[in-house]
Structure 1
Amino acid sequence: MTILAIDTSNYPLGVALIEDNQVLGEYITNLKKNHSVRIMPAIQTLMKDCERTPAQLTKIVVAKGPGSYTGVRIGVTIAKTLAWSLKIPLVGVSSIEIMAAGAGRHFDGYISPLIDARRGQVYTGLYEYQSGLLTTVKEDRLVLSADWAVALREVNKPILFVGNDLPLHQAVIEETLSSQAVFAAITEHNPRPSELALLGKDKQGEDIHSFVPNYIRLAEAEAKWLEANGKILKG
């Protein structure tokens, strides 16, 4: 089984190839550059360096959001196109779950990845490793970081916070949770595409045509258009 993983859901761009139980290659950058221009050359370079051809791929795994509206859409579109043209399964994985998988594998407690969503809000969730498997404790959501920190005071374990946007919300987390909060090292903040591939390895393929990203919320422009046209009830 040769799996290609693609993640363009946020500023980090990542692609990886895993084959059976081996990571053949992995490419990650954390740059504010156009993913639509860079993702295909990154895939092509990785495939060439690993001496694999598209015909050898058996599954595509993609980060399906939440995150950047445009970034998520780019990754999902490319993943769907590749899976459809190669006639191989497509699997989507939460962008938040990927972050938890990479940083929290050896952490004895809960893991809460954070992606900034502006206006004091974050995309987040709560995860935990149990018997070597990553499990969901609280589903992914959009929430004020201050409210999230208050809610987490009720759990009885230390919490590892991870994500490149963590500095934007660290002060309010520290103020509310004190020593219960643990902060990942900077080398752990970028989501690992090899972890993405591993998370999707044993998951069932999804219907390619109906597969859609998980934005959690609508893009701001789309939400305003729907509200202006009476599609969203206020209050």
Structure 2
Amino acid sequence: MKTDQTSDNIMLAMDTSTADLTVAVLQNDQCLKEIRVKAERSHSTQLIPCIQKLLSDVDLKMKDLDCIAAGHGPGSYTGVRIAVTVAKTLAWALDIPLFGVSSLEGLSYGLYRDMKQSEMGENEAFPWIIPILNARRGQVYTGVYEFKEHGRSNRLPDGIRLMEKWIEQIHDQLQSQSSSKQITFVGDVDDFKSEISTLEEISGQKVNCFEKHMNAYDIGLLALSQWDQSKINEPHHFIPNYTQLTEAERNL
């Protein structure tokens, strides 16, 4: 297996943790092309055709790939499983490195890049970016991320949380900080307007909200840093991060 990073690596990145299916081809840190489609419940039938079209559009073949990156969740059980299965199968068949990235971190990092490239972040300290994906029954897949020029940190780990209680936990974290932190939610924010308004009320500060799609390009960029740190996954041991038992496991 190729484990060294050369100056001309071709990476295939993918994520199917949400209703969007997204795939991208990167050459080093540049996106050659990205495809995103509204897959809903058809990830399993659309992912391979999307990958084939993507590679064809940039005049590449599977054998040209140097590594694979996949968002491993959390998110939709079925969706997450599709990307993980395809990624590990391709990595094993092609004998190339495989990298797993938190889908929530990918969503957060995409917003951070947008903020850097626009006026949104010019006058702000580094914000706490809180990704939220609707997990139904008042729950969200979420975490807290803080990105800086030369690094990033997962302030609170990925997990599935009751949004009402999550708001209280975020408020407690704000109270424990020695300096103020700008809170920015990203993802399925329209589904939780009431709870987010509650955080504004109890914290006394404005909370930013952005609806944003998942981008495989951001998954790929995060995977590049793992390559630098030699965090290569063994395909047979690469599994989804559901952050909780599946319904079948709970019933068992």
TM-score scaled by length of structure 1: 0.89
Residue 176 of structure 1 deviates from its aligned partner by 2.5
RMSD value over aligned CA atoms? 1.4
Pair 1:208-2:235 in alignment: yes
Pair 1:100-2:108 in alignment: yes
Matching residue's letter, 1:181: V
- Gapped regions of structure 2 (runs ≥ 5): 1-8, 116-120, 175-179
Pair 1:158-2:195 in alignment: no
Q: How many pairs does the alignment contain?
A: 221
The aligned residue for residue 198 of structure 1 is 221
Whether the aligned pair in 2 keeps the contact of 1:153 and 1:177 (CA below 8 Å) is no
Q: Aligned match of 1:47 in 34, 48, 55?
A: 55
Residue 214 of structure 1 deviates from its aligned partner by 0.5
Tell me, what secondary structure is at the counterpart of 1:92? strand
Whether the aligned pair in 1 keeps the contact of 2:75 and 2:242 (CA below 8 Å) is yes
The aligned residue for residue 180 of structure 1 is 206
Matching residue's letter, 1:199: L
Distance 2:152 2:35 in 1: 23
The C-alpha deviation readout for 1:49-85, integer Å capped at 9, x for no partner, is 0111111111100010111111111111000110000
- Gapped regions of structure 1 (runs ≥ 5): 226-235
The aligned residue for residue 65 of structure 2 is 57
The aligned residue for residue 16 of structure 1 is 24
Distance 2:61 2:224 in 1: 19
TM-score scaled by length of structure 2: 0.84
Identity, in percent, stands at: 38
Q: Aligned match of 1:135 in 130, 137, 153?
A: 153
Tell me, what secondary structure is at the counterpart of 1:216? coil
Q: Aligned match of 2:129 in 83, 102, 111?
A: 111
Distance 1:21 1:209 in 2: 27
What pairs with 1:76-95 in structure 2 (closer than 5 Å)? 76-95=84-103
Change (3 A) 1:118 1:33: closer
- Structure 1 residues 43-52 or 144-153, which shifts more? 144-153
Whether the aligned pair in 2 keeps the contact of 1:4 and 1:18 (CA below 8 Å) is yes
Distance 2:39 2:189 in 1: 17
Whether the aligned pair in 1 keeps the contact of 2:39 and 2:46 (CA below 8 Å) is no
Tell me, what secondary structure is at the counterpart of 2:225? coil
The C-alpha deviation readout for 1:172-215, integer Å capped at 9, x for no partner, is 1112224331101x4xx111110100100131211111111100
Residue 33 of structure 1 deviates from its aligned partner by 4.0
The aligned residue for residue 36 of structure 1 is 44
Pair 1:224-2:251 in alignment: yes
Tell me, what secondary structure is at the counterpart of 2:129? strand
Tell me, what secondary structure is at the counterpart of 1:201? helix
